[in-house]
Chains A and B, each alone.
Chain A
Amino acid sequence: MSFARSFRLSGTGAPQLATLAVILFANWLVFPEFFDLRMQDGRLFGSLIDVLNRGAPVAILAIGMTLVIATKGVDLSVGAIMAICGAVAATMASDGYSLPVILIAALAVGLVCGLWNGLLVAVLDIQPIIATLILMVTGRGIAQLITEGQIVTFTHQGLIAIAGSSFLGLPMPVVIAVVLGVAAAALVRLTALGLLVESIGVNRTASTYAGVDSRSVLITAYVVSGLCAAVAGIIAASDIRGADANNAGLWLELDAILAVVVGGTSLFGGRFSILLSLVGAMVIQAMNTGILLSGYPPELNLIVKAVVIVVILVVQSPVAGRLTTFFRRR
């Protein structure tokens, strides 16, 4: 039943899927080998795989961001949480801890960060943009404290395997993103969490008056976002075999927000779809990769991105909605 709902929402995701198709097609035009795939050592290689692999961290951030935005909030701190958790993982890896301990510690730190944001928003009633700005600003400082100002590198094979290994031919980050995405979609739709999140996002007062425990639902959303950022941070650290407190996850909060918005979740809260946010993340990464492959200067990337996003937002805007109804009536 609840999966039927996800599919129904995916059904309305035609604009997102069409955008993705157009961008992939454009990539093929500028780079004819774009869809070529090679199998080597039991692992797939090719530009398409690159898009998936490079897009995985933003896709994972977008999972948590979707829930937060659906509550009419926003989480600006996810990039900084990535840096903190990456620093934790890298430092512990260079100190020789075992993989499970490293993962549990990094995830726990992400959970605490999410809890902090959630408490500020839900209990102290601070506007989400300000509340999460606090950790966005201080987070990188915290990460530097953990790494003692150094770029920590490690040769911990277990941690390196997180980003470096593959499963069924696919890079591990892609597998993690897909598993997390499906698991989160199942969590919100097989329980009533999704309904309560949407209800709070549309009208928090009315939801609270209806007996919804708005505070714990809000805190849950920010905690999930913190956990997702922790996973993305671990992958980023594993990918570069080290932690760079200044650059890990830099500006990725903005890409994650974009992915969610491109995926059709309104910044005004309410209806959301985690799976479409994943598509949104792929749209963004496909553009990034396409411009790199085309040989145009990377600076162009930002402009092209802006144009595509404007187009998507205009298509989704209420004004466009009214126009289409108008023309359908003719």
Chain B
Amino acid sequence: MTDDRSTAHAATSGAPAGPGDHRSGADDAPLLEIRGLSKSFPGVRALDGVDFRLHAGEVHALLGENGAGKSTLIKVLTGVHARDGGEIRLGGVPIDAADTADAQRLGIGTVYQEVNLLPNLSVADNLYLGREPTRFGLRSARRTAAMARELLAGYGLSIDVTANLGDYSVAVQQIVAIARAVDLSGKVLVLDEPTASLDAGEVQTLFGIVRRLTARGIGVVFVTHFLDQVFALCDRATVLRNGRLVGERRIAELGRLELVTMMLGRELEAAQLHRRRGEGPKGEAFLAFEGFGRHAYVNPFDLEIRPSEVTGVAGLLGSGRTETAKLLFGIKEADAGSATADGAPLRLASPRAAVAAGFAFCPEDRKTEGIVGDLSVRENIMLALQARRGWLNPLSRGESKALADRFIKALDIRTPDAEKPIRLLSGGNQQKALLARWLATEPRFLILDEPTRGIDVGAHAEIIRLIERLCDEGLALLVISSEIDEIVAYSDRVLVLRDRAHVGMIEGADVTVDRIVGAIAAEGPATAAGVPA
């Protein structure tokens, strides 16, 4: 493992730009050049001085975990968001797209995972929507169809263009969307997770089309979280993490392990890795899941949960981390296996059932799944406890006030008072208030999905200390995180996921960044022994 290359500083200064390192020649000025791009949203710095270079005729992977800044970068590039700082040059000329239509005129087209076309219109109409070919000033359906057939023939697609787009498979719709985007823009094509809903054969067809486009000199930005596809298709990769550039690499010179390390990072200081692992009695397992799983969601797995133990969950985006959490918390009901609590069978059919069994869950998407924005900090803190008591057994105003004040003090939630709407708090304080909501129910098993996502450095350290404190107090925790070094810092053992399956459990002294990254990056069949030497 080469530590120096995985830090942001070393990576940017060591970015490869040698001659002949690319088939279209990197000596040429890049087609698209982004420098020092910054973008902030209230409470979040989504992009912080990011550089990105795309050459004509290359496929450039844009990689990073959730919240790394990929989407923001694309949205700023295509005019959805206005940038705060930095420069975007296309063919050497500074550009500033006002909206997506403007970006298309400038030459930048985008195709999203969810095809943004109209399924109830014909393929031809979709291709020429808003710029219909006319004949004597009238819209000509025949000419539109003829032009559409010709355009799609260039993509090796011979279909009835007068049929409704919605009648075709997602793959065909995607090709139509690409054809439209390229036809409209013609210089840069951004593909945002294009393969997420395609099967293997369709992916190959898509790759063929992408290669044909690059041969025509179009630069393709390819956003994905399938590493295999990065290695199969891309010439170069740029990795972002937490809104910052980690580095740009040529795929040919990049190992799988190095790429995963770049994406997941190892930035915490050694001083923070102070948790004494494996000391003290862990007690008996009080929760057991056997063959627990759900078809097409998470493969069946076995898991035992013991008090005073932190189980870290590591894996790439889409590996089944959040899905595992939602299954354990009853948001999705398992269709295989069994769960037992203290030896008695446990049916987890809803979050309500999970809460009744002493479970608690802080979801990854705080804003849409966690906080109740317009309600006060006090009401958010009391919500889970009140829900468990039922509406006929209300906490009195005095009780809820005391509860909120106690947690505001204990967790150092920074708010002027308990009656402030929670949406006005910073991300870190919202997260602490959500923790307070669950701690108020005195849970036995706490599931945290990306508890440190999108919060500032100070609050980050506080949350980690809190996790350790709760564990010392006897709580069982399951913590999902994209930050491997963070997982290493607090976990007693680490569950590794790949392709929606639990592929390994790393325990005790083996819990190191290298072992975890190795297990995540391992190729081949998902086996429990998926940890390479």
Contacts and interface: CB of A to CB of B under 8 A. Distances in A.
Nearest to B354: A211
A210 B351 contact: yes
Contacts of B355: 210-211
B352 interface: yes
Nearest to A211: B355
A202 B383 contact: no
A271 interface: yes
A43 interface: no
Nearest to A188: B391
Contact of A192 (B354, B370, B394): B394
A260 B111 CA distance: 43
A188 to B, nearest CB: 9
**Contact-residue bracket for chain B:** 35 or more
B397 A209 contact: no
Contacts of A190: 394
Contacts of A166: none
B121 interface: no
A217 interface: yes
Contact of B397 (A4, A208, A217): A4
A195 interface: yes
B386 interface: yes
A206 B372 contact: yes
Given A191-B392, A210-B351, A211-B355, A203 B384 contact: no
A199 interface: yes
A193 B372 CA distance: 16
Interface string B357-389: 000010100001111111100010011101111
Interface residues of A, number: 26
A191, A207, A211, A212: which has the most chain B beta carbons within 10 Å? A211
Nearest to B437: A210
A1 B361 CA distance: 30
A244 interface: no
B373 A202 contact: yes
B117 interface: no
Contacts of B390: 192, 213
B398 interface: yes
A206 B369 contact: yes
Nearest to A270: B374
A195 B379 contact: yes
Contacts of A316: none
Interface string A262-289: 0000000011000000000000000000
B361 A212 contact: no
A195 B390 CA distance: 11
A206, A212, A271: which has the most chain B beta carbons within 10 Å? A206
A132 B126 CA distance: 35
Nearest to B352: A211
A12 interface: no
A198 interface: yes
A82 to B, nearest CB: 28
Given A1-B396, A191-B391, A209 B373 contact: no
B369 A192 contact: no
A192 B374 contact: no
B291 to A, nearest CB: 25
Contacts of B396: 1
B326 to A, nearest CB: 9
B11 interface: no
A2 B397 contact: yes
A196 B387 contact: yes
Contacts of A198: 374-375, 379
A209 B394 contact: no
Contacts of A4: 397
Contacts of B441: 211
Contacts of A193: 391
B389 A192 contact: yes
Given A199-B372, A210-B351, A211-B351, A5 B383 contact: no
B395 interface: yes
A209 B391 contact: no
Nearest to A198: B375
A188 B387 CA distance: 14
B522 interface: no
A1 B398 contact: yes
B452 to A, nearest CB: 19
B331 interface: yes
A205 interface: yes
Contact of A206 (B352, B356, B370): B370
Nearest to B401: A1
A192 B382 CA distance: 11
Contact of A209 (B361, B375, B395, B398): B361
A40 B350 CA distance: 61
Given A199-B372, A203-B373, A211 B384 contact: yes
A132 B374 CA distance: 26
Nearest to A205: B369
B391 A196 contact: yes
Interface in B398-433: 398
B370 A209 contact: yes
Contacts of B386: 192, 195-196
Interface of A: 1-2, 4-5, 190-193, 195-196, 198-199, 202-203, 205-213, 217, 270-271
7 contacts: A195-B382, A206-B369, A207-B372, A210-B351, A210-B384, A211-B387, A212-B387
Given A195-B386, A203-B368, 4 more contacts: A4-B397, A195-B394, A209-B370, A212-B352
